[in-house]
Amino acid sequence: MDIKDYKLLSEQLSALVHGVPHLTANLANASALLWSALENINWAGFYLMEDGILVLGPFQGKPACIEIRPGRGVCGTAVERDETQSVPNVLEFPGHIACDAASRSEVVVPLHKSGLVVGVLDVDSARVGRFSEDDRQGLELFARTLEAELEELL
Ligand code: SME
């Protein structure tokens, strides 16, 4: 998908979650939207900060690790640096946490509330180099849309 498709996807996301006062339901629908729109992915979902630790949230894909500490793996690195991580080959990422052994590339985008990181969006693929610069920017747009729509709920 190019950035134009991600703009459309973010509009669909807004339509799906706008005015819905349930965080879990909205994140579940957001992960289902990514799962149905993106080709060649094997996991799409969320981890949310609870008492300083990332805890597994709504997702699509195989069962995943439940807790991740900041600084650990791709997700924990995104939190610690407060910076999107786009990893073309997770086998070359020191400390990568293999939830699904088939995963090869991964994008993790931090989610914020009032400027603080409150969770991450994580999308994985079994293909090396699956995510382009457009995918990275598009998933950041998706995350920014979610932050704006769910500001009261996060
Ligand atoms: N691979 C991630 C862990 C989460 S799963 O991919 C769903 C990481 O290294 O943080």
115: left (phi over 0), alpha (psi -120 to 50) or beta: left
Pocket perturbation via mutation, ligand 1, pick of 84, 100, 108, 123 by most ligand atoms within 8 A of CB: 108
Say what the pLDDT of residue 20 is.
96
Query: Looking at the domain that runs over 3-149, which CATH code has it been given?
Result: 3.30.450.40
Q: Is residue 64 lining ligand 1, measured as CB closer than 6 Å?
A: yes
**What are the structural domain ranges in the chain?**
3-149
Which residues have C-beta within 8 Å of that of residue 2, sequence separation ≥ 6? Answer: 134, 138
Q: How confident is the model at residue 56 (pLDDT cuts 50, 70, 90)?
A: very high
Q: Is the pLDDT of residue 80 over 90?
A: yes
Contact in structure between 154 and 111 (CB atoms under 8 Å): yes
Q: Is residue 149 lining ligand 1, measured as CB closer than 6 Å?
A: no
Residue 70 to residue 53: CA distance in whole angstroms: 7
pTM of the entire predicted model: 0.96
Strand order in the sheet with 85-87: 67-68, 53-61, 43-50, 116-125, 105-113, 85-87
Name the 3-class secondary structure at 117. strand
| Mean pLDDT over each residue of the chain, to the nearest integer | 96
Q: Is residue 97 lining ligand 1, measured as CB closer than 6 Å?
A: yes
Q: Is the pLDDT of residue 60 over 90?
A: yes
Q: How confident is the model at residue 122 (pLDDT cuts 50, 70, 90)?
A: very high
Least-confidence region, from 39-53, 90-104, 110-124: 90-104
Residue 124 to residue 100: CA distance in whole angstroms: 9
